Amino acid sequence: MDTLTLIRPDDWHSHLRDGSALTQTSADMARYMGRVIVMPNLVPAVTNARLAAEYRQRILRSMQTTARQFDPLMTLYLTDATSEADIREAAEIDWLAAVKLYPAGATTNSDAGVNSLEALYPILATMEEVDLPLLVHGEVTDQDVDIFDREAAFIGEHLAPIIDRFPKLRVVLEHITTRDAVDFVKSAGPRVAATITAHHLLLNRNDMLVGGIKPHYYCLPILKRRQHQEALRGAATGEDRSFFIGTDSAPHEQHAKESACGCAGVYTAHASLEFYAEVFDELAALDRLEDFASLRGPDFYGRPRNGDTVQLRRVDWTVPATIPLGDSELVPLRAGETLHWQVVDAGAP
C-alpha cells in the first residue's frame, strides 16, 4: 500500500501556546486536523468561559492567513477555586469541550493545578450531571514516588476512586505511557478513554538516555520501558475503541529545551499524522489508522465525524532542522531525519 486516504483526523489533545507562537502552531495544526482540543495551561491559566473565549479568538485570528482552518475546542483548567457555576456555564457552550485536571506541579505551567482531588468531588459531581468530560494528566507529584512510577500510582490512588464514585462521568486519561494505563482503560468501561501520542509510540526511555541525554525527547509523562511502549502500540492498533489520537504536541523554544534544566515537551504538529502512519505501517496495521485517528475520538466526544478526507503517500522527505516559533525557533521531533509517509492532499481549504 503506497497511498492511504483517511477521513480527516482530529487532535484530541494539543498545546498551541499563545502570542506570536500561534502563527506557527496553528498553521501546523491546520495542515490536516479538523478539530483540536486545546490545552488551557497558559500563564495565567484558562480557568473560565470568558478566558476560554478570548483565547479561542486569538487562535482564530492567528489562522486568518492560513490556507485552511481547524475548529479549536477549548478546555477549562481545573483549580481548587473552580465553581459549580463555572462548570454549568461551560457545559452550555458547544466549543468548550472539557475540563482539564493537572495535579499541581505535574508538568509545564501546572502550578495552578489541583492540590486535593477529594476536595473537588462536588465539582466532579456537577460535571457528571451536565456530562462535561474530565481530561486527566495522570501523575502523582509525591517526590518519594519514582518518576517512572507516577502514572501507575495516580491510577491506583486517584483515578480508580474517581471512576468508582462517578460512574457516569466521561474521563479521558491523557497521553498514557504505561501498560498499567492500557489495562485500566480497557477494564474501566465505555465512559473512560485514553489518548496516545505519536512520540510515546515511536520512542522509549532508551531512545532518550542511551548514548547521552536527548533533551528534545524529554516529556511528561516521561518515556517508559520498551514493554510499556509495546503495550501502547497494541492499544493504538487494536480493536478496543477506547484509545485514540492525542498528540500532546508541545512547542518549546530550542534554547529552553537545550538548557541546564530543559523543559518538558515534544513538538510533533509538523508531522503528527505521518508519525502515526509510520508506526501503524511498521505494525502492519495501516487499515486501522483511520479508526484510531479519525473515528474513535469524535464518537467518544459525541461529535460528528469529519466529512472530508486527507491522503498520505509513501514517499521519503526530510524533517526541517528547526521550525520558527514567534521570534525564536524550535527543534521538531525527528529534526533532520527522513520520514517515509507524507500527507500529500490535505483537502480543500
Amino acid identity, residue 132? L
d(CA 296, CA 301): 9
157: left (phi over 0), alpha (psi -120 to 50) or beta: alpha
Instruction: Annotate 162-183 with b (16+ C-beta within 10 A) or e (fewer).
Output: bbeebeebbbbbbbbbbbbbbe
Q: Does 168 appear as a known binding residue?
A: no
* 95-to-12, 90, 180, 279 alpha-carbon distances in Å: 13, 9, 32, 31
Which residues 6+ apart lie within 8 Å of 305 measured at CB? 7, 294, 295, 298, 299
- Looking at the DSSP bridge assignments, the partners of residue 317 are 339
Could you please report the per-residue DSSP string of 252-272? --HHHHSSTTPPP----TTTH
25: which DSSP letter? H
d(CA 144, CA 152): 14
Q: Does 137 appear as a known binding residue?
A: yes
Crossing angle between the packed helical segments 226-237 and 272-282, to the nearest 10 degrees: 100
Residue 168 near residue 137 (C-beta atoms within 8 A): no
Q: Does 175 appear as a known binding residue?
A: yes
Amino acid identity, residue 158? H
Q: Does 340 appear as a known binding residue?
A: no
Q: Does 252 appear as a known binding residue?
A: yes
d(CA 108, CA 48): 19
Q: Does 255 appear as a known binding residue?
A: no
By residue count, the chain amounts to 349
Q: Does 17 appear as a known binding residue?
A: yes
Check if 248 is active-site: yes
Amino acid identity, residue 335? A
* Residue of 111, 248, 287, 316 with catalytic role: 248
Grid cell at residue 178: 504505561
Active site residues: 248
Annotated binding residues for substrate: 15-17, 41, 137, 220, 252, 264
Annotated binding residues for Zn(2+): 13, 15, 100, 137, 175, 248
